[in-house]
Amino acid sequence: MRVARMGVGMTVAITSVVGVSLATAGPAAAADGTWRAYGNTNPITSSTSTWRCASSRELTDDVHAQVCAIRSSGGDSVQAAVIVRNDRSSLYSVSAYMDLRTSSAGLGNWSCASSGVGANSWSVCFGKTLTQSSAVNSSGGAQGVSLRVSPYV
């Protein structure tokens, strides 16, 4: 099952695998295809990992998302993620998917089933953490909106 990189016309078939997130520390780390709520804490600036994200895209009024490739602070682990920011005063349900790849090979595809993103908060859908020294990037989408492709990290 795979994500075909076709820009806005992206087609998706998804598989889910269990693992540990590198973007968070400790026992509460997110698993593959799993949402993690961040409340009002920015997931990028609160992490010791390096995040490279595509520009934010509007999913609907006051809800934005972006796809990111993440590299651990040690440099040997990588991960894909979709960040959703809900600036509404009520919960917003969203599903997301992403892939992770080097310039020559696909490394995996992940999805997060529809989940509520709290009012005025961030949530992140994380993919599996992989060992990879080569540069990686990620493409993805949420709510049928292509989030394009992140820069390499």
Dig out the tokens for 132 from the structure.
Answer: 């990879």
Summarised one tens digit per residue, pLDDT across range 67-119 is 999 999 999 999 999 999 999 999 999 999 999 999 999 999 999 999 999 99
Q: What is the reported pLDDT for 131?
A: 98
Q: What is the reported pLDDT for 110?
A: 97
CB of 137 closer than 8 Å to CB of 42: no
Q: What is the reported pLDDT for 66?
A: 98
Q: What is the mean pLDDT of the chain?
A: 85
Cα 52 to chain centroid distance, Å, stands at: 11
